[in-house]
Amino acid sequence: MAWSGTTAARGVAGALAARGLELAAGLASLLAPRACVTCRRPLPPGGPARHEAWASALCPGCRGRLGPIDGACLGCGAPRGPHAAPSRRCAACRGVPLGGVARTTALWRYRGVARRLLHAVKYEGREDLCPPLGLALAAHLAALDPTWASTPDLLVVPVPVHRWRRIARGYDQGAALAAGVAEGLGRPLVAALERHRTTPPLHGVDRDARDEVVAGAFRCAAPGAVRGRPVLLVDDIRTSGATLRAAARALRRAGVRRIEAGVLAR
């Protein structure tokens, strides 16, 4: 009895010690000054609602500098400029084939605060920001076009990163982002695409050559799930559009009916 009593006491003491360490770690993370991902100023305490949780990574000043794109080009998602007709595409992408992506909608311009925020998501382990950012993108899409949330057979499909990149990073930001978009729109998330070929980072590649570099990088791993359905492709960023066009090609081959794209920034 004495033996088992001692063992039990040790077990309780051990559990208490472990719990104590957990609590201390929790308190330390609460007390540590959190910093704005953009300007590194300390953040005020308290957090916003979940759908705005991405904003908790920014100080009020940086948050105020982020405004959604208004009056965007349907072809590439960039601001069209004040005088362009709503039906026209912007000067930068007019004449560039859409490549099967009927419309691209972006939340922000890829610069300043948005650029820093996406950098934190991609290279600084801030996976936690992806689902709330996805919710923010869903809210932007639904505000621009309420049919997004009411298209009954719409599927949300992430543009995936290659398996090696996912292993190196520990997560796939596009998939986490798309999960937030799917939740926000109330539509199913289907990881239908596979990136079966690694591609070099496109920022070093000539714009005209980008389509060639990523052509054939994707394949549809679940054609039965997407055939005949409209799809919203989700990615963190659109630059030249080559990645979205390559992903769209794989979906078109699988029989997807209509493809649109939603991105955080462009």
The site for Zn ion (CB under 5 A) is made up of: 36, 38-39, 59, 62, 73, 75-76, 78, 89-90, 93
Closer to Zn ion at the Cβ: 59 or 226?
59
Identify whether the C-beta of residue 166 lies closer than 8 Å to the C-beta of residue 201. Answer: no
Closer to Zn ion at the Cβ: 65 or 163?
65
Q: Considering the complex, what minimum distance in angstroms separates the CB of residue 63 from Zn ion?
A: 8
Closer to Zn ion at the Cβ: 36 or 181?
36
DSSP secondary structure code for residue 161 in this structure:
P
Closer to Zn ion at the Cβ: 126 or 195?
126
Q: Considering the complex, what minimum distance in angstroms separates the CB of residue 35 from Zn ion?
A: 8
Containing H/E element for 61? helix 60-64
State both tokens at 145.
Answer: 């076009």
Length of the chain: 266
Q: Considering the complex, what minimum distance in angstroms separates the CB of residue 266 from Zn ion?
A: 9
CA distance linking residue 23 with residue 216, whole number of Å: 50
Report which of 115, 114, 134 is spatially closest to residue 234, judged by C-alpha positions.
Answer: 134
State both tokens at 129.
Answer: 């920001």
Containing H/E element for 243? helix 242-253
Closer to Zn ion at the Cβ: 53 or 59?
59
Q: Considering the complex, what minimum distance in angstroms separates the CB of residue 113 from Zn ion?
A: 8
Q: Considering the complex, what minimum distance in angstroms separates the CB of residue 190 from Zn ion?
A: 27
